[in-house]
Amino acid sequence: MGFFVGNRSLIEELENEIGKNVVLYTADSYAYYGNLSRVTCDRVGLLTPGAGQSFVIVRHPDQTFSSQGVSGEFEIFTLVDLCTVVAKTVGLSEVPPGFTFCPVPPPDDVDLLD
């Protein structure tokens, strides 16, 4: 089952935010922090590492096993279906305080592609 919010005006706003650090909040309670590098196909956003980061931070909803949003993961880049985005925070100069409880990123010598 997938979500389809499809807020066209929000997607158009995001197309004007390319190159900026953002937090994208989706309908399924995930949150993504990174640099919005590209919007393709009018619905897919490419996030790369944001300001001061080596990875995109993906915060999980975790409603079943722990408190809301207490875990996360680090990715080299991520693709976000913009039709599921319900809110955004734009123009951040660093990781928001609410993301600081994410696990420590892997050391630089770890190859995440293996």
Higher pLDDT, 7 or 69: 7
Tell me phi and psi for residue 69, to 5 degrees: 65, 30
pLDDT reported for residue 85: 92
Under CATH, which architecture does the 8-99 domain have? Answer: Roll (2.30)
User: Residues 75-83: what's their mean pLDDT?
Assistant: 93
pLDDT tens per residue across span 86-110 = 999 898 888 777 665 545 555 555 5
Task: Give DSSP secondary structure letters for the chain.
Answer: -------HHHHHHHHTTTTSEEEEEETTS-EEEEEEEEEETTTEEEEE--TT-SSEEEE---TTTSSTT--EEEES-EEEEGGGEEEEEE--SS--GGGTTSPPPPPTTS-TT-
Instruction: Provide the pLDDT for residue 1.
Output: 40
pLDDT tens string 7-66: 788 888 999 999 999 999 998 888 899 999 999 988 899 999 988 888 898 888 765 555
